[in-house]
Amino acid sequence: MTDLAPLYRAYIDCLNRRDWARLGDFVDDRARHNGRPFGLAGYRAMLEQDVREIPDLRFVIGLLACDPPLVAARLDFTCTPRGRYFGLDIDGRTVSFSENVFYRFRGGRIVEVWSLIDREAIAAQL
């Protein structure tokens, strides 16, 4: 079984470097996100859109637990979204929030992601 903690940390590093060409090293071609079939292309498009809306987006691992084939993480963010984000008028204000996310790995790559972002924490800062 693959040691998922270093693999997951390498995935987060890939996201923070915006190394989209290497995303396929970590995400399966048939990946699903919150039950939707995204595939690698859809997953990449989602991340690229996130970076367009939040140019200073940086993924910080707050908590990490691995029980192969699953990874659970709490990702912490302090960033400055442009305009509206999650239906909220943020308009360039800096906000801090967390995402609780679970991943299922198969063959060393992410095949399923379940994500929940703390939108109430964002709203409370506005």
pLDDT by residue (tens digit) across 40-50? 999 999 999 99
How far separated are the first and last CA of the chain, in Å rounded? 44
Q: What is the pTM (predicted TM-score) of this model?
A: 0.92
Give the tens place of pLDDT for each residue, 63-113: 999 999 999 999 999 999 888 777 888 888 899 999 999 999 999 999 999
Share the mean pLDDT of the chain. 93
